[in-house]
Structure 1
Amino acid sequence: MLEYKSPKYFPSSEELLDSDETPVDNELQDLIPGLLKAILAMAWTERMDWFFGVDMGIYYDPDQPAIVPDGFLSLGVERIFDEGLRLSYAIWEEERVPIMILEVVSQTYRGEYTKKKQEYSDLGVLYYVIYNPQRRRKPQLEVHRLVDGEYILQPGNPVWLPEVGLSIGAERGTYLGITREWLYWYDELGQRFLTPEERAKVAEQRAQRLAEQLRAMGVDPDSVV
């Protein structure tokens, strides 16, 4: 585990850089964590004790640069600070290490299987998720669990995360008009949570069925408030 220093002054998250200014070289590095965050916001709409960061700096030592994963999930923290929202994630301020970190591998490797894996292990992140859409002979999705200071690859797809109360997995679907393999959240029965687009489509279909039923009863659906 990393040892946190105790300087006389801890900068607030507002004073720290929100990212490392490194541009993503693959659109999926934004879209995949963004989709996971959007699904979680609808699945946990009543909960205010979680935060999902996308391309946001995680600070563990005020004297060290931030670690900036593609996405991360923290539990037991404030969902929203104020209208300004979070600018960065300082562990000494949040008092929580993220429970899960996600890296989406692009054509340019950035130490996802080596350097970053060690960093997250040292930080004490329980789950490290790597998604590599370029892989052909090995699994594209890897979910690692921290056991005695080492990451152990977990079997299956989706993979159940008991401390989170959800599973994470990969399957083909359509998001923002793009049909390909995406990462999703699943419940304890393995049922996939719908995306915002899918939820809107289901709601529209229900409204259409209701309108048809009203017309069959001789009622103009436009007259029903």
Structure 2
Amino acid sequence: MTQLPRQTDPPLPPWQTLPTMYDLPSENPEEPGLPDEFHFLQPLLLYLTFLPPNWYPNRAFSACDLNLYYDATHSNWYKRPDWFGVVGVPRLYQERDMRLSYVCWQERVNPFIVVELLSPGTEDEDLGQRESELRHPPTKWRVYEEILRIPYYVIFSRYTNEWQAFHLVGGHYESVDLTQGCLPIPELGLSLGVWQGNFRGFNRLWLRWMTLEGTWIPLPTEETEVARQETEAARQETEAARQETEMAKQEAETAKRRVQELAARIGELGIDPDDLQNSE
């Protein structure tokens, strides 16, 4: 008896069988994080709104995903914070060039605040739950707390929209009780808070800098929009004033014309307008 060919299921499309972005780690085993678009946009928003009023603009520097070298005795050891801010250093390296990295022993000023965005592959290290391995570089937490002694350390999760802030007290990080959901930093003249808004086409919760009084630091696009609105308001006021002047001119011309018409009618009646004035 001839056997019929055995039927098989059609092959699954590649998008159902190949790994997704959540399954593919970095090719560098020492950096197993999962970079994503949020890791670009959130640090960018912090970068654009980091304008400490207590410091001249050319004496503040911040960076996103820039190598931070912290140990002169191990010059190839570095961390790469998602965002960090420094005050008291030139905006440009030696006042003349953009930085390729931030080398603490050359800058002689350590970062004042670091923000890390939680990723599945680096969460335990960001939260200080991973111990340093023997003959390996120290973890982020240890570098920020013990070696660089960075005063403020902030952690934000895009998955839960929760964030934690730590302040260096007595050489150790202590959790900060947020003030009305914000982290005031008087040394900078700024507060850090969570903002619900649209940034680069995404409406969600974002970390964003504000004044100590609670006003969000405007983005360049927002400043442009405010300037446009102010210009439009001024134009409308000018146009309204022009229309009022034109209306007053027309009313004056109408009144003059009526006087002339009235004088003409009185003249047709044989009455001298001057006699009317004298009779009064």
> Which amino acid in 2 is paired with 1:131?
F
Q: 2:112 aligns with which of 99, 117, 121?
A: 99
Note the alpha carbon deviations across 1:130-149, whole angstroms, 9 max, x for none: 111212xxx71111101112
The answer to whether the Cα contact below 8 Å between 2:52 and 2:189 also exists between their aligned partners in 1 is no
Q: Which residue of structure 1 aligns with residue 155 of structure 2?
A: 130
Note the alpha carbon deviations across 1:145-169, whole angstroms, 9 max, x for none: 0111211111122110122221111
1:73 aligns with 2:73: no
Give the secondary structure class of the aligned counterpart of 1:217: helix
User: Quick check: which has more Rg, 1 or 2?
Assistant: 2
TM-score (norm 2): 0.64
How far residue 215 of structure 1 moved from its aligned partner, in angstroms, is 1.4
How far residue 30 of structure 1 moved from its aligned partner, in angstroms, is 1.6
Cα distance in 1 between the residues matched to 2:235 and 2:53? 27
1:163 aligns with 2:187: yes
Note the alpha carbon deviations across 1:27-55, whole angstroms, 9 max, x for none: 12121111111122596895211110111
Structure 1 stretches of at least 4 aligned residues deviating more than 6 Å after TM superposition: 20-23, 42-45
- Over 3 Å counting, the alpha-carbon distance change for 1:24 and 1:44 in structure 2 is farther
Q: Which residue of structure 2 aligns with residue 17 of structure 1?
A: none
Q: Which residue of structure 1 aligns with residue 60 of structure 2?
A: 50
The answer to whether the Cα contact below 8 Å between 1:126 and 1:146 also exists between their aligned partners in 2 is yes
Give the secondary structure class of the aligned counterpart of 1:206: helix
- Over 3 Å counting, the alpha-carbon distance change for 1:27 and 1:78 in structure 2 is same
How far residue 109 of structure 1 moved from its aligned partner, in angstroms, is 2.8
- Over 3 Å counting, the alpha-carbon distance change for 1:22 and 1:96 in structure 2 is farther
How far residue 193 of structure 1 moved from its aligned partner, in angstroms, is 1.4
The answer to whether the Cα contact below 8 Å between 1:72 and 1:102 also exists between their aligned partners in 2 is yes
- Matched pairs, number: 197
- Over 3 Å counting, the alpha-carbon distance change for 1:218 and 1:21 in structure 2 is farther
The answer to whether the Cα contact below 8 Å between 2:196 and 2:204 also exists between their aligned partners in 1 is yes
> Which amino acid in 2 is paired with 1:151?
Y
The answer to whether the Cα contact below 8 Å between 2:43 and 2:83 also exists between their aligned partners in 1 is yes
How far residue 182 of structure 1 moved from its aligned partner, in angstroms, is 0.9
Q: Which residue of structure 2 aligns with residue 152 of structure 1?
A: 174
Structure number with higher relative contact order (C-alpha < 8 Å, ≥ 6 residues apart): 1
Structure 2 gap ranges (5+) = 1-29, 129-138, 244-280
1:218 aligns with 2:242: yes
Structure 1 gap ranges (5+) = 1-19, 220-225
The CA RMSD measured in Å over matched residues stands at 2.4
